[in-house]
Structure 1
Amino acid sequence: MNILQALFFPPEQPGGVSSMVPYIQERFHKLGWGMELFSLPKRVRNKGQEEVTFQTFDHTPYIGNSLVDKYIQTYKDYVWWTRMRIQKPYDIIHAHHPIAAMVMKDLFPDTPLVMTLHSSYERELILNGKIKEGSVEHRFLTSIYRELESKVDKLMTVSESFRSYLAPFIDHPERIKIIPNGFDEKRFKPIAHENEVTQLITVCRLVPAKGLDVLLASCAELKRRGHPFVLHIIGDGPIREELEELAQKLGLYDDIIFYGYMLHPEEFMPFFDVFVLPSRAEAFGSVFAEAALCWLALVGTNVGGISEQIEDGVNGLLVPPENPEALADALEKVLIDPTYRYNLARSGWDKAKKVYSLQRVISQLKKVYNEVNAAENAQ
């Protein structure tokens, strides 16, 4: 069977999808399956000219809104690039972005299409203060979900919580299959070490949705309580300068290191002790599984896919979002008790290795591909 994995971002970009799909391709190649990756290069901008239409809603009332216009132009660009680059047939197309899915179905209507929804663009925009719930942009972006439901042969997502999020926007949420992200455990190499001062680490894009302002407030509280630590922040984004200013304002200048973007943070994480990220929302939260495979104790918020990965007090600690005091309390527990921290990390590693293995993902995807292909051949 020959399969096309249709991405939006190029595979070298950071993030759960981009870091996972090339490893999926490698595993399928070892099984003798054909699999290729396809994405839209950053240099392709404003090339597409074809008109865009949707089956389930009329998007023309939204035209004139800058975000909607950019989304439609990106759709046109993806059409233009796909027509240029894809010249051969595939048995199945697996899309990992709404635009990729819709374009592929438009251009190759007879090819079975499966799609994984990994995250919510509109929810990220709301949390980052870019749009408001119920706005023109929000209504347009949530209309896309029913369009996807009408076009794809199999719709999948990465967590039960994200399927619940999608439920109001589609007709049959019960038909969505859940396949959590999986990780090649060979990439992660825990390293025995003893740090004199507890080393905290977080890895994310520096945007409001990740709750790093809450993390800095909790770190200031830890310092007030007299607990030494160092916080390492890996990632970049539009609020980096704002966070650096906040760190100085809170008296944390000597306790925090901002590294900026790093392509393979999993090579760096094993030297630290605690992974912490107080996200305001996460469809899955791949970085928690990656940190667990590096044998770090996990501290996160009780939201979305994070709460499905962490059982509070067993393989990590969960706290309510927007609560610096509760986060400081959780961090205090792992700062003052290395044995407790070690036991959480060991349990986290054990669960991640069993539940989020790449082999499990391969097995589940094989089943989906075979079922979709068999249904197509039976017609």
Structure 2
Amino acid sequence: MRDTSDQRQAAAQRISIIGAIVNALLSALKVIGGVLTGSTALIADGLHSLSDMATDMMVIFLLGISHKKPDKEHPWGHGRFETLGTVFLAVILLSVAGFMTWDSLKLLFAGEIPSPPSWPALIIAAISILANEVLFFYTLKVGKANHSNLIIANAWHHRTDSLSSIVVLIAIAGAILGVWWLDALAAVLVALLIAKIGIDLLLKSLAELVDTGLPQERVNQLRETALSVDGVIDVHNFRTRMMGGQGLLEMHLQIPAHMSASEGHFIGDIVCAKLKDRFDDIGYIIYHIDTYDDELIPDLTQPLMPSRNEVENHLNAAVSRLLGDCPAYELTIYYAPKFIELEIKFSHEIYALLENTGLAGQTLETNLQEELESLNWFRNIRIWLPVNDSQV
């Protein structure tokens, strides 16, 4: 049984809180340890952990907002807050990366050879690697379960912190062995890793803000699922976009022309249920029921198709010419590109009129066909007669 939305949100916030606590401790340990051991790379890595903590705090805040129900001011929900927050976070990461790069390059070209770091810096770097690898796997699992790009990105942020700590470990070992510039160079590499994460987050969030569609592979899967429902002939005008890690769909479902409106919408509801059951990252679905592919014939108003009132006026005049009067009837109109079809269910009074004129039901249908064939929008007519009580 699937977790509810509230349970997923709670799980996402829980892992983000754990990540924030772990990264706060690692940041303090590495910055203080870097100062005491004389390792510039370890201090830079500590700032990286600090950025991870900021990421976790922002994720916690954004999850609280983005999962709110739609309201009057935000009828489509609050998912864009997560996207905007991710953009803001990406800008912060790029700023931190720029500062770290500038500071480390100044140290490299200062012309002074700093003292090598002491061996405890190696232990601190090893602790950081282990802690961030655990955080990475746990956060990635939660992110995939929640289909949240923000949490998944945060998981990879933990992984980059782990990788940067590996670089720092090697750099510290090299600096202790006498390669003094390796420590500062490692700080630059760490800064570049942070910048890459910032750029990736920024590009993904901007793509979401401009309503970029889902990957084609996922679109194909969604279309196949919709087409697998009985009664769906085709799916067209299929549009997708992302909002807060959830997919939004718009589509036209083509059904047989003579299905009723209620059956068509029942089929549409089945399609929605099947899509949400298979893809639980689908947030909202808008569908339109068609009896033809209006994507292939976009200009259906030239010539303008007649309204129900116009059709009834033509039909009443034709029936009155044939029978001398027009009995009560139920009319169903089937609109198709460039023509319409009619289905007429007459009341019992039709028999008296047929008897007075000497017409039979089949003759009436043929004569009506001839009466209306001059109209360029008419193609076919079907007549239904009630049971004739006098003949039972």
Same fold (TM over 0.5): no
- Bigger relative contact order (CA 8 A; separation at least 6): 1
TM-score, normalising length from structure 1?
0.26
Q: Return the TM-score normalized by structure 2.
A: 0.25
Structure with higher helix content: 2
